[in-house]
Amino acid sequence: MREINKIKKIVIKIGSSTLLDSKLKLNKEKIKEIASVISKLKETYEVILVTSGAVAVGVSKLELKERPKTINLKQTCAAVGQAGLIQIYEEYFKLYSLKCAQLLLTHDDLEIRSRVTNLKNTLANLLNYNVVPIINENDALAVEEIKMGDNDKLSALVAASISADLLVLVTDIDGLYDKNPNNFSDAKLIPCVDCISDEIYQMAGGSSSKVGSGGMYTKIHAAKMAQDAGCSTLIINGANLENIIKALNKEEIGTWFNGHENNRLQAKAHWLIYNSEPKGAIILDDGAISAVCKKRKSVLAKGIVDVEGNFLAGSVVLIKDKNNKIYARGVISYSSEETRLLKGKASTDFSTILGYKSKEEIIHANDLVIIGEDK
C-alpha cells in the first residue's frame, strides 16, 4: 500500500532521457511541462528539482556529433550547458510565475557534514522565499574521483539531507518490472515495494538510454538510500509528467517504494553509509570486532592489529577483521601515522607515545555505524 498522506516535501529528479528528443536536442516543450506540473504541485507541496542535461545541452551548443568521452571535453560541455539549461528553465518557469535558483554540487559538498548543513539551510531559505531550487552535479569542475556518477544518487542524497518525504525519479520507463520488458513480453510492472531486498535489486537491469547515465539498478539504489532516510520513492515515466500528480492522488501509476519513518537511520549514520568516502581502514582482532559489533563499544587502540591507507584525524575509515571482511565505518580521532604508533597500546601510554593525550577512543561508539554482520 502506498503511504501518501504525510507527504509535504518532494524532490523530483528529471533525467536526460526525459529532457532530450530523439536527436539529442533539449526538448523545450518538456521543460514547459515540468514548469506546469511544478506550479500545480506547489499549491500543496514544497518542491526541489534535480535535473540532468547540462552536458547534453553543451554538446548541442558546441555542435558535437557525439557525447564526449574525455573528462576535459565533458567539463567543457557542462560549463556551456549549465548556463544554457538554467536560462531555459528560468524562461519557462516565468510563464507560471515561478522563481528558480541554481545549485551545482559535487560529491565533496555532500561528503563534508558542515557543507550538508549549509545545503540544508540554503534550501530551506529558498523554499521559504517560494523559490524552486534547481540542482545539478557540477560536471564543469568534478573529476571522476569526486563525481556522483549519476543524478539518481545525487537526488537521493539531497532528499536524505533535507528530510524530504518523497523522491520522484522521472525516467523513460514506466517503473520497475519483474524482468526486463525489452526482452520479455510477459514482464509485469511492480506497483509498490515495501522493502528493497536482494530480489528487488536482481530485477534491475542496465540503462537502455543513449543519453542517461543511470540505469534501473541506480534507481533502485537511490530508492534504498531514500528509504533508509524515511523517504518514499516513485519511479515514473516522463512521457506524461501529469502522472506525478495522479500518483499523489493515489492512482496506481509507476512503482512506489515506501519509506518507513520507524526504520529511518539517524542523520550521522546515513551520512557515514552513503555520503562519506572511506580514506583508509583499521584492522581489528576478533575480540575488538565482537565488542564493536555486538556490544556497540568504541574502538580502542589495544584491539588494532593493522592500519591501511593514509588519512587525517576526522576522516571516515572502514573497520575490518583480519580476513578483510568489512564490519563498520567510523570517524577516526587520529591520523593514520598516529594510529600506527598507537595500535596495540593502552590509552594510558598515549601521552608518552605522542607527546600529548587526546581521546582515549580511536573511534568513539557515537561515531560508528555497523554495516556488516555481527560477529
**AA letter at 241:** L
pLDDT band with cut points at 50, 70 and 90 for residue 209: very low
Q: For residue range 92-114, list pLDDT tens digits in order.
A: 999 999 999 999 998 778 888 88
Q: State how far the Cα of 83 lies from the Cα of 90, in Å rounded to an integer.
A: 11
Domain 278-370 is of which CATH architecture?
Answer: Roll (2.30)
Could you give the residue ranges of the DSSP H alpha helices within the chain? Answer: 16-19, 28-41, 54-61, 71-94, 107-111, 113-128, 151-161, 198-203, 216-227, 242-248, 267-270, 286-294, 336-342, 350-354
Q: State how far the Cα of 277 lies from the Cα of 189, in Å rounded to an integer.
A: 35
Q: Which residues have C-beta within 8 Å of that of residue 102, sequence separation ≥ 6?
A: 82, 86, 134, 135, 136
Q: Domains of the chain: which residue ranges?
A: 9-269, 278-370
pLDDT above 80 for 144: no
In 3D, which of 235, 218, 364 has the Cα closest to residue 300?
364
Angle in degrees, CA 274, 276, 279, rounded to 5: 135
The three cell numbers of residue 362 are 580511536
**AA letter at 154:** L
The three cell numbers of residue 120 are 540544508
Q: For residue range 3-39, list pLDDT tens digits in order.
A: 787 899 999 999 888 888 777 778 899 999 999 999 9
Q: Which residues have C-beta within 8 Å of that of residue 100, sequence separation ≥ 6?
A: 49, 86, 89, 90, 93, 131, 132, 133, 134
- Asked if 307 and 335 count as a contact pair (C-beta separation under 8 A), the reply is no
Length of the chain, in residues: 375
CB neighbour burial string for 258-295, b if at least 16 within 10 angstroms, e if fewer? bbeeeebbebebbbbebbbebbbbbbbbeebbbbbbee
Once rounded to an integer, what is the mean pLDDT over residues 300-313?
96
Instruction: Give the per-residue pLDDT at 375.
Output: 43
- In the block, cell 524552486 appears at 132
pLDDT band with cut points at 50, 70 and 90 for residue 275: confident
- CATH number, domain 9-269: 3.40.1160.10
pLDDT above 90 for 321: yes
Could you give the strand order of the β-sheet that contains 46-51, starting from the edge strand earlier in sequence? 99-105, 131-137, 46-51, 9-14, 166-171, 232-237, 255-257, 192-193
| Average pLDDT for the chain | 89
